[in-house]
Amino acid sequence: MIEPDEWPKCPVCQARFRAASICSRCGADLEPLMFLIANAYQLRQDARRALQAGDFERAQKLASEAQATCSIRRGANLWLLSRWLLSLSTCA
């Protein structure tokens, strides 16, 4: 999941996200943000499964989509790994 130092902030008041659907500071609706985080997490899980299956092209596509949805350091690492493995598989 997301490391504490990568937790998103409320887009309205910049309070630290506490995994609640309403911001504890300003009362903003955070459900859309929660949806994006959950969606990106699922995409990364699918990318990991694609890597395990040896489908590096699909893994890179999924990792890229996850990063576009909610960018985190682990996601960037997953994307780099999938890109590297894809480049190795196309060289062979």
Average pLDDT over residues 5-18: 84
pLDDT digits 0-9 by tens, 15-54: 988 878 999 999 999 999 999 999 999 999 999 999 999 9
CB 57 within 8 A of CB 42: no
What is the distance between the alpha carbons of residues 26 and 18, in angstroms, rounded to a whole number? Answer: 13
> Burial level of 7, CB count in 10 A (0-12/13-18/19+)?
middle
Q: Tell me which residue has tokens 């887009």.
A: 11
pLDDT at res. 20: 87
pTM (2 d.p.): 0.83
pLDDT for position 48 = 97
